[in-house]
Amino acid sequence: MRWLGAHLALLVTAALAQDKADRTEFAAPVRILSAGKPIDAAGGHAAPCVADLDGDGVRDLLVGQFLWEGPTRWGARIRYFRNRGTDKAPRFLGFTNLKGGDVEARAPTG
Amino acid sequence: MLSGGFDNRVYVWSGLATRVAFGARTDLVNFTGQPAFQQPHVACHAVDWDGDGDVDLLVGARHGEVFLLRNNGTRKKAKFARPERLEAGGAPLKTPHGDAGPHAADWDGDGDVDLLVGDDRGSVILFKNVGTRKVPRLAQGVVLLPGKGGRFVEKRCRTNEMCAMRAKPWVVDWNGDGAMDLLVGDFHDHRVPQKMGNEHMHGWVWLYLRKPAKSRKPKPAKPPKQRNG
């Protein structure tokens, strides 16, 4: 019985070690910078998206954001940060607000 | 370009031949009046969920549910089916604190699509796909990032519950090391009645670089002691 118990203990230990190994670990979080300052979607509700928007082979960054425009009026717009660096070392130097047609691309309030 | 809206609609701006140019906004999906969408707002992610070559739509709702709208059309001309509420671990999927922000990507590198969902308290929950590429089946969620996830940025945020909220995750290999990293957008509300403008709300984009995985091989176990006799 002690032999069986010892082997069961070994199996449980192996299973626990495997579970710990599956947990994802991250480095301490840092804020993405643009022109040396943290990207800050004034209005909050930042929603990032990575895509090569200008077709230059390098991934750019889009950030959706909330806009408060008065006590009963809210909306959202989308900032485009063109990547001036590379995919491995992105570098952003400012943004433009994306347009839809001739107007700023906005998601309106209800 | 797609975006969820405060008014329970998903909007689309069609891309034009000229890069970084879009046409006028149109409604893609309108959830107004549907029982699961009584509260604003929705967040969306377009992804080929079922591996059939076209783009489906994932929509996160205010109360924490995530819905799949399968594309029964084509990649060029989408035709979305009725919303199906996703399940995980055999039960309807719902984030603990609502405001689901879905993002689908192959998080564990096994060739299928997993689901990550941000929620109102700022956590990011991982629902691994334990099915197949074409027939996803989500396991029970595990917390990938706890609420706020270390995203305090100033003393005020340490005691203010209205900080690092409403996480919106995006999976990308940010530094090209072959491991999928995590971008997380969030919301910090520093407004007071006398100061209500946008400058008193913040939305930062946080980068969580993934550390290399530890060896999955457990150390060799010591053999049990030999008994005499």
pLDDT band at A71 (very low <50, low <70, confident <90, very high): confident
Contact at CB, B187 and A45, closer than 8 angstroms: yes
pLDDT tens figures, B73-106? 998 899 999 999 999 999 999 999 999 999 999 9
Chain A CB contacts of B219 under 8 Å are 17
Q: Is B202 on the interface with A (CB under 8 A)?
A: yes
How far is the alpha carbon of B96 from chain A, nearest alpha carbon, in Å?
19
| Higher pLDDT pick, B228 / B40 | B40
Q: Which residues in chain B are closer than 8 Å to A64, comparing Cβ atoms?
A: 3, 168, 185
Whether the predicted pLDDT of A50 surpasses 70: yes
User: Which one of A46, A61, A80 has the shortest CB-CB distance to B186?
Assistant: A46
Amino acid at B225: K
Whole-number pLDDT of residue B218: 54
Average pLDDT over residues A65-75: 78
Higher pLDDT, B146 or A15: B146
Report the gap between the CA of B92 and the closest CA in chain A (Å): 24
Amino acid B219: pLDDT: 53
ipTM score here?
A: 0.86
pLDDT at A21 over 60: no
Per-residue pLDDT averaged across B210-221, rounded? Answer: 64
Mean pLDDT score, B190-198: 86
- CB of B160 within 8 Å of a chain A CB? The answer is no
Mean pLDDT of A52-60: 93
H helix or E strand, kind and range, residue B188: strand B181-189
Report the share of chain A in percent with pLDDT over 90: 49
Tokens of B86: 């996703």
Nearest-CA distance from A98 to chain B in Å?
8
CB nearest to B209's CB, from A26, A40, A88:
A26
Task: Say if residue A16's pLDDT is above 70.
Answer: no
Taking only residues 76 to 115 of chain B, the set having a beta carbon closer than 8 angstroms to any beta carbon of chain A reads: 101
**Preferred mutation among B183, B211, B216 to probe A, highest tally of A CBs within 10 A:** B183
Distant-in-sequence, close-in-space partners of B197: CB < 8 Å, separation ≥ 6: A68, B191
Whether the per-residue pLDDT at A77 is higher than 70: the answer is yes
Place of tokens 């997380």: B184
Beta bridge partners of A31: B206
Contact A39 B204 (CB under 8 A): yes
The model carries a pTM of: 0.85
* pLDDT of B59: 94
* Burial B99-117, CB ≥16 within 10 A → b, else e: bbbbbbbebeeeebbbbbb
Nearest CA to B1 out of A55, A95, A107 is that of A107
